[in-house]
Amino acid sequence: MKVFNLKNSNGVSVNITNAGAAVQSIIVPDKNGKFEDIVLGFDSPEEYLTKNDPYLGVIVGRYGNRIDGGKFSLNGKSYQVTINDGTNHLHGGVNGFSKKVWNAEKIKSNLGEAVKLEYQSKDMEEGYPGNLTLSVVYTLTNANELRIDYEATTDQETILNPTHHSYFNLTGNPQNTILKHVVMINADKYTPANKKLIPTGELASIENTPLDFRKPMEVGLRIEDENEQLKFAGGYDFNWILNDFTGSVRKVASAFDRTSGRFMEVFTDQPGIQFYSGNFLNGTVKGKGGIAYNRRCGLCFEAQHFPNSPNEKSFPTTVLKPGEVYRQTTIYKFSVLS
C-alpha cells in the first residue's frame, strides 16, 4: 500500500493513501501560523482496511449512506445488497470501496499536485449489478483547496452514490469535541428519517427546528434539544437538501473554529449533503498517535444524492446506465479568520 504527499506553495500538506482512497492527513495553519492535522485517521494505510468501522477519511460506495433493507429494483429486477447496519445497507456494504486497495499514481495537473486513484468493482460485488470503473482525483490547489473529482462508467445499469467521509476537527486536536464549531448549511429543507435513519420520503422544512443552519450556528447549541430526529440519530446525521441545485459546483456549507481561526468551506455539484456530528464514535477506535476517538470529536460533510434514493421515486435518481459517465466534484477549502 502507498501514501502520496501533496503540497502547495502555502505549506499546506495532504497525505492520500490508496487504502480505501483515504485522506490520511490535512495539515493547515491556524490564525497564528501553527500547522496542525485537522482530520481523524490512522498512522498506517493497513489500519484503514482493518479497523476503520467509522469510515475515517475514505471514499465510500458504491452507495454512500443507507438503503432500506438493502433492496432496490432496476428494470423490474430486484437486487439484494449486503446488510451491515441493522437492517440497512450502509456505505457500500461489508467490503465496499472503503475496504479496497485502489490503483493509484501521482498525475500532472494545472490546478496543483494531484493523485489519481482507480478501482474496478466487479459485477455483483456486494450485490450490485454491472462492472463499474471509478476514478477519484484528489488535487491540492494553491488556494488551499482539496478538490475531489469523481468519474465512473458501467457496463450494466446500476446505482451509484459515492462520497467522501473525512472527519474534520478544526481545532487540530481530536481530544477536543466539535461542539463549538460554527456550522452553516445552505439548505431550506432536509429528508426526515425514521428510527432506522431511513428517509420517510418527505421533503421537510428546517424552519423552527434544530436543523436550521442557514445562519451560522454552533453545533452544540441545539444538539441536545427535545427533537425526535435528533433522538433517532443521537445528534446530527441527516441529509440536507441543498439550495440552488443545478448540477454546477457552488458553496453549500462551512465550518469555523473560533479558537484556532480555521475556516472550512464546502463546495459541491451534488443535490444533498450529510452533516454528521460523530455521534457513533465511542472511544473504541484509536487513531493517529494512539488517541481514542471519542463521541463528537469530528464532523463530516458528505456530498451526495439522497439516502435510499433507489426506493424513493421523488428523489433525484442515482441510476447509472451503460454509455453514461458519472461525474462529481466536491471541494473543501481552508483559510483562517481572525
Q: Give every CB contact of residue 276 below 8 A, 6+ residues apart in sequence.
A: 236, 237, 299, 300, 302
* Grid coordinates given for 231: 433522538
SS3 62: coil
3-class SS at 155?
coil
Instruction: For residue 13, count CB atoms less than 10 angstroms from its CB and return exposed for 0-12, middle for 13-18, buried for 19 or more.
Output: middle
12: its cell numbers: 499546506
Evaluate the CA torsion angle 126, 132, 133, 137 in order and state its sign: negative
Q: How far is the C-alpha of 11 from the C-alpha of 29, rounded, in Å?
A: 9
Position 324, amino acid: E
Place of cell 440519530: 233
CA count, 13 A, side-chain hemisphere, 118 = 11
The three-class DSSP label of residue 310 is helix
Geometric angle at alpha carbon 182, from 59 and 205, rounded to 5° = 80
44 vs 55: CA distance, rounded Å: 15
Q: How far apart are CA 94 and CA 105, in angstroms?
A: 26
Active site residues: 165, 302
Distance CA 264, CA 257 (A): 9
**For residues 283 and 287, what is the distance between their CA atoms, to the nearest angstrom?**
10
Calpha distance 88→133 (Å, rounded): 25
Query: Nearest Cα to 227, choosing from 192, 201, 255, 199?
Result: 192
